[in-house]
Structure 1
Amino acid sequence: MHANAAESLLPYLVPSRSPRPRARRVLDIGSGSGYLTHIFAQLAGEDSVVVGVEHIGALRALGEANMSKSAGGRALLSSGRVRFRVGDGRKGWTSRRKNVGGAADESEAQGWDAIHVGAAAVELHAELVSQLRRPGRLFIPVEDETRRDEQYIWVVDKDENGKVEKKRLFGVRYVPLTDAPAT
């Protein structure tokens, strides 16, 4: 599934060759071990930022610890190109911190070129679609509306004009995208 996700998002990850390229911004919801987060950062290039979001602090720490095991991973973390955060991934990610500009800015105003969701949502969350840049792509497993025991990968594209197109690809089995456990 990691390969499918990366392949689907690849056109939105690879740095643009246009005369006025923009830094790539990638959101990895349910970042887990940090493996795919690291791959996204490598694909997105030197001026990109990749934010991994987990709803449980221990899972956020796991991703960061795994990435810290290699020199390349440590460099990505220390440069700020990769960050792990705790939050409700169903709402996407926007930072309330002071904006620092460029790709490093986590503000809502910048949006995301690519959003990957690594857990099954009960619906296609509008907040995620609204945070896509123009153009941008969302890769997300979603439970079937009529049969909750079935899940499908959906790809949602937003074009340069903001037009949204949704496409159901194939059946999958993911863990659910849930609330953080009560402490």
Structure 2
Amino acid sequence: MPSRRPPDPFPGAAIAQQVRQRGIHDPRLLEILARLSRRQFLPPDERRHALDDRAIPIGHEQTISQPYMVAVMTQGLALSGTERVLEIGTGSGYQTAVLSHLASEVFTIERLAELSLRARSILDGLGRTNIRYLIGDGTLGWPAEAPFDRILVTAGAPGFPSTLFEQLIEGGLLVAPVGDEFSQELTIIRKQSGRPEIHSIMGCRFVKLIGAEGWADQGRGGPLPPSLPV
């Protein structure tokens, strides 16, 4: 019998090359993107598009972000490896996986239980043990675990995320797309002397950030469930 081919140690090499050519320079980030398979975070019927540099549907009207956008947002967090990071919007778990390799601890919140549980199953299978999960309203953050060194919002916020900003340490960074439902500006917010220093990176378009301090959920027409650890 022919021997089985060993797993490719760099299934994301093409993604790393794509984002490097577009200006991503953080060597730790590029290595993780090369070593991480985006394919396993996608629904089976979308896996053939794993190396495409675009957002891809994952169900529930949500998407896995474009690899370049994942790279830009992650690089904007300026992670050294010691940070406690709050992620708003677990989604597929791909961005969570990237963060878990580059930070000390990741606290990730997802309002859709099915997505949270699916992502956790994948990440547990990858042996990622520095992630904590919460199902609930991400716009309210995770007060019991605050403050955080970094906060990443992976959906479009309609305005300044004040409650999340309050959960940031002095000198910490918050990266979020902010704007209307059709387009946003990817924004880095630093807490300096308790006040926000805001820097716009680029235009972008994300799904809506749903919650008490985000957009109303037109599909459900009711409040989100209480936050539940998983």
Q: Separation in 1 of the partners of 2:120 and 2:95? A: 12
> What letter corresponds to residue 25 of structure 1 in structure 2?
R
Aligned residue number for residue 149 of structure 1: 182
Q: Separation in 2 of the partners of 1:149 and 1:5? A: 19
Aligned residue number for residue 170 of structure 1: 202
* 2:183 and 2:206 in contact (8 A); partners too: no
Q: Separation in 2 of the partners of 1:114 and 1:151? A: 20
TM-score by length of 1: 0.73
Q: Separation in 2 of the partners of 1:14 and 1:65? A: 27
* RMSD across aligned positions (CA): 1.8
Q: Separation in 2 of the partners of 1:125 and 1:165? A: 13
Aligned residue number for residue 116 of structure 1: 152
Identity of aligned residues (%): 33
* 1:34 and 1:52 in contact (8 A); partners too: no
Of structures 1 and 2, the one with the larger relative CO (CA 8 A, separation 6+) is 1
Q: Separation in 1 of the partners of 2:195 and 2:89? A: 26
Q: Separation in 2 of the partners of 1:150 and 1:40? A: 25
> What letter corresponds to residue 186 of structure 2 in structure 1?
I
After the TM superposition, which residues 92-131 of structure 1 pair with which residues of structure 2 at under 5 Å, given as runs? 92-95=141-144, 106=145, 108=146, 111-131=147-167
* 1:91 and 1:127 in contact (8 A); partners too: yes
Structure 1: give runs of 5+ residues left out of the alignment.
16-22, 96-105
TM-score by length of 2: 0.59
> What letter corresponds to residue 149 of structure 1 in structure 2?
F
Q: Separation in 1 of the partners of 2:83 and 2:151? A: 11
* 1:52 and 1:84 in contact (8 A); partners too: yes
* 2:186 and 2:200 in contact (8 A); partners too: yes
Aligned residue number for residue 14 of structure 1: 80
Structure 2: give runs of 5+ residues left out of the alignment.
1-68, 212-216, 226-230
Aligned residue number for residue 99 of structure 2: 40
* 1:33 and 1:66 in contact (8 A); partners too: no
- Return 60-69 or 132-141, whichever deviates more: 60-69
Pick the aligned partner of 2:125 from 49, 64, 69: 69
Pick the aligned partner of 2:106 from 44, 47, 50: 50
Pick the aligned partner of 2:132 from 65, 83, 88: 83
Structure 1 residue matching 2:92: 3-state secondary structure: coil
- When Rg is computed on C-alpha atoms for both structures, the one with the higher figure is 2
